[in-house]
Structure 1
Amino acid sequence: MKNLVLIINEKNSYGRHLGTTLLSILKNSKEKWNIFIIYENLSEETKVKLNTIVKSHSSNINYLEISKSDLDRFKVGKGTHLSSIVFARLFIPELLKSEEKAIYLDCDVIVLKPLESLYEMDLKDKSIGVILDGKKDQKSSLSRLNLSLDRTYFNAGVMIMDLKRLRENSKFLQTIDYCLNPDRELQLNEQDALNIIFENDYMINDIIWNYTHGNSEENSYTENEIGIIHFTGDVKPWDCRSYSPYKDLYWKYLNETPWKGFEEENKTLKNILKRELVKFKLKTRKIRYALKGKK
């Protein structure tokens, strides 16, 4: 079986979001998966629901607890919606000591194509396989980190890992040390550190496998072409304020899980009106760009 890893701290109802991601993976897979859930806290009730999803698709699920004390050592970037659980992905090579390869996914993604296609990516002797951020986001991150704009910057929410190589070169351990330096200011936490430590040691795959907001603004792939939709940013598809054109896909899969029946969070008339105004502005901006390109 192929190995899949996700991480979770079950605050803010992330159990059901993880379950939704898992269902989208398994429903669109051709093979069975060996799934590892690395967690800081996770209720028995949520485990039962996750087990139901996974076993109904004849896959395996394993739970690996990471200690709060390990995560509390890290400083979370200022002004982000993230928590220290994001650093748990840096422990994957050591936690999966008997495995040689794995794919890691954030649990705010929806998978639309068989994940095996991404898993089988040829890393060409690189340690990880990744997908780049949108060009605008790349430039912003490289500038913020005082890195050359000739470089590229990847999003760490989707990664194919050569675990054997990572244990041999200790680059995830180097990344941990880099993050723990009290003088570091890493707004995007371990993602910034990974981009620094792994310079020239990653293979790049097509953006359809990590279709973020930034990538969707700069490209126009259809839903049938996209492999993974990644709901980056602090307003997620389960929030009324989200204006993502793909948020209905989140609800489609959620309502096939044991968590079906939930409603949007922050649903007020004010938020609905603000959302529709933003959608209108984005739509008119795209039209202006299209007309400008025809001149």
Structure 2
Amino acid sequence: MQIPIFYAINDQYAPLLSVSLKSLVNHTSADNQYIVTVLYQTLSKENQDKLVSLATDNVAIRFSALDEQFSKLFDKDHNLLLADFHTLTIYYRLFIADMFPNEQKAIYLDADTLVMQDIAGLYQIDLGEHAIGAVTDQLLAIDPDLATYPTKVVGVDRANYVNSGVLLLDLAKLRQEKFSQHFLELLQQYHFKLIAADQDYLNAMAHDAMTFLPVKWNDQTTVPIDENGDVGLVHYNLFRKPWHYRDVPFREAFWQAADQTPYAKVLHNTLSQYNESDTTADDQKHQRLVATANELLKEPVTLRTVLSQKVS
């Protein structure tokens, strides 16, 4: 079985991607071929060489420049858009189906993930008649400070609001449903203020056509995780990263993989240099996130109001 997997990074995230890649490699089956495509905005030849050194006989690693992909996709016609290609790259995962028209199904992973089981288990999940599979966002499901944002701004019950850091995509169905075209229509007509850009669009547009995946395939560290449980993939979303903090879930597994990459020294140095002012900044980022969400509750035009009008 051939399994297409997509990531997207720039040079800053190359060390983190190396850990995710190494953990993925460490949990592969010789029965499968894993084709990893790294989408990038800027990624030096040195970083590409380091990342590709993690490839194996059954894990291929290739690179694809986002600017080139978007130029091909829109035939360099900026008149099609109200945003330039650089702005559109924020929403790259919404265009994977169009950028890779020969692929029928794929996995998308954020770089701050740690693979704990063979990713083939995720790929083999049947999406049924839906085009997208994802795990609910566990922070928004429980955080009282963000409780009303998904419902009031995005138009999705917070218990059904998904995290876009791990996606199982039926690319053929996304093309058939013209998903990216519908997204572009919204982007061109409205300038929504959002706290999670592409994730909010994904939730608003696909909430009625979403397969909810088992939590094990996107166990998010914003909530407590049973480290002895059935965990397929750990997602270090938001602020408490193992290369910044020592008291994080699965830190031993993270560093075991990290020490097998060309970036081991860089990552250890990053951890040792993270100081009190950095942790204070993380706390402030969370406070700003909550403040922004509360401000957006007052906006008269939101994804929820616009899409509810289209449905009615």
Give me the TM-score of the superposition, normalised by structure 2: 0.74
Post-superposition CA distance 1:96-124 (Å, at most 9, x none)? 11110000000100000111011000101
Counterpart position of 1:58: 58
Q: Which residue is 2:236 aligned to?
A: 231
1:125/1:149 Cα in 2 relative to 1: closer, same or farther (>3 Å)?
A: closer
Whether the 8 Å contact between 1:8 and 1:85 is mirrored in structure 2 is no
Identity fraction in percent: 22
Deviation (angstroms), 1:249: 2.6
Structure 1 Cα separation of the partners of residues 110 and 134 of structure 2: 13
Contact 1:36 1:62 in 2 (8 A): yes
SS in structure 1 of the partner of residue 166 of structure 2? strand
Moved more, 223-232 or 133-142: 133-142
Q: How far apart are 1:149 and its partner, in Å? A: 3.4
In 2, Cα distance between equivalents of 1:212 and 1:151: 15
1:251 matched residue in structure 2: 255
Within-5 A mapping of 1:138-217: 139-143=147-151, 145=153, 147=155, 149=157, 152-214=160-222, 216-217=223-224
- Aligned-residue Cα RMSD (Å) equals 3.1
1:240-263 deviation per Cα after TM superposition (whole angstroms, max 9, x unaligned): 4x6422233322211101222232
Q: How does 1:22-61 map to 2 (within 5 A)?
A: 22-30=21-29, 31-54=32-55, 56-61=56-61
Summarize deviations over 1:236-291 as a string: whole Å, max 9, x none: 22114x6422233322211101222232426469639x79xx9xxxxxxxxxxxxx
Change (3 A) 1:25 1:271: same
Q: Report SS of the residue matched to 1:4.
A: strand
Cα drift, residue 182 of structure 1: 4.4
Q: Choose from 251, 264, 283 the match for 1:260.
A: 264
Q: Which runs of 5+ in 2 are unaligned?
A: 72-81, 284-312
Write the distance in 2 (CA, Å) between the matches of 1:33 and 1:141. 37
Runs of 5+ consecutive residues of structure 1 not aligned to the other structure: 77-82, 279-295
May I ask how many residue pairs the two structures share in their alignment?
263
For the 8 Å contact 2:154–2:200, the answer to whether it is kept is no
| Deviation per residue, 1:74-97 (Å, 9 max, x gap) | 799xxxxxx975421122001111
Q: Is the 8 A contact 2:151 2:157 kept in 1?
A: yes
